[in-house]
């Protein structure tokens, strides 16, 4: 079995990848995650996933690298991780009572190959009251999460339905990740 490296410090991605029964190491690259002017969210997450994979591949040329990036898209805005309580509340106001898209870019690379894909899942959020927002913020769960929520946690109470990959919303679409690994012959 080839040496696999997950290019992420996300505990959620680590847990998801462990579900596949893979052995892997973790190495989180330091890359610029700035959004380019006019960049669509799908292009943004794919660009970051590829940049993370390339950065780690340079340091571990004989490894198979898995990298990902997840962001929300609503009204052509990219919603990443909240910088503050006010920022989280602003994001929740944008997604409250409506559907939004969660995009993950996934990249699998070797020294000779690089493949990437973007996966989109539509998530419906119930209308949030100010009390809902205050209560949810107080849990600490929104910190460090794209869109300031974790579908696998307390926020599940606010999500009546999703269309698409659940693991994508958590941060790593597993089915598509396996397909990419099979493409580079990392799995039989």
SS3 185: coil
Using CA atoms, how far apart are residues 125 and 178, in angstroms rounded to an integer?
29
Q: Is 69 among the catalytic positions?
A: yes
**Given its phi and psi angles, is residue 164 left (phi above 0), alpha (psi -120 to 50 degrees) or beta?**
left
CB-CB neighbours of 11 under 10 Å:
11
Q: Which of 69, 75, 101, 112 is catalytic?
A: 69
Q: Pull the structure tokens for residue 90.
A: 């602003």
Is-contact 102 165, C-beta < 8 A? no
Residues marked as catalytic = 69
């Amino acid at each position: 079995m080839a040496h696999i490296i997950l290019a992420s410090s996300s505990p959620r991605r680590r847990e998801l990848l462990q579900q596949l029964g893979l052995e892997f190491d973790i190495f989180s690259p330091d890359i610029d995650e700035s959004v380019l002017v006019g960049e669509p969210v799908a292009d943004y997450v794919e660009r970051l996933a590829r940049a993370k994979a390339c950065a780690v591949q340079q340091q571990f040329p004989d490894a198979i690298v898995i990298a990902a990036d997840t962001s929300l898209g609503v009204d052509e805005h990219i919603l990443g991780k909240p910088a503050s309580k006010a920022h989280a509340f602003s994001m929740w106001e944008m997604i409250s009572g409506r559907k939004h898209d969660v995009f993950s870019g996934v990249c699998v690379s070797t020294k000779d190959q690089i493949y990437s894909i973007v996966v989109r899942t539509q998530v419906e959020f119930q209308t949030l009251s100010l009390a809902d927002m205050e209560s949810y913020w107080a849990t600490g769960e929104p910190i460090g999460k794209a869109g300031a929520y974790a579908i696998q946690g307390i926020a599940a109470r606010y999500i009546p339905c999703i269309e698409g990959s659940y693991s994508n919303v958590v941060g790593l679409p597993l089915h598509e990740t396996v397909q990419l690994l099979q493409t580079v012959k990392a799995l039989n």
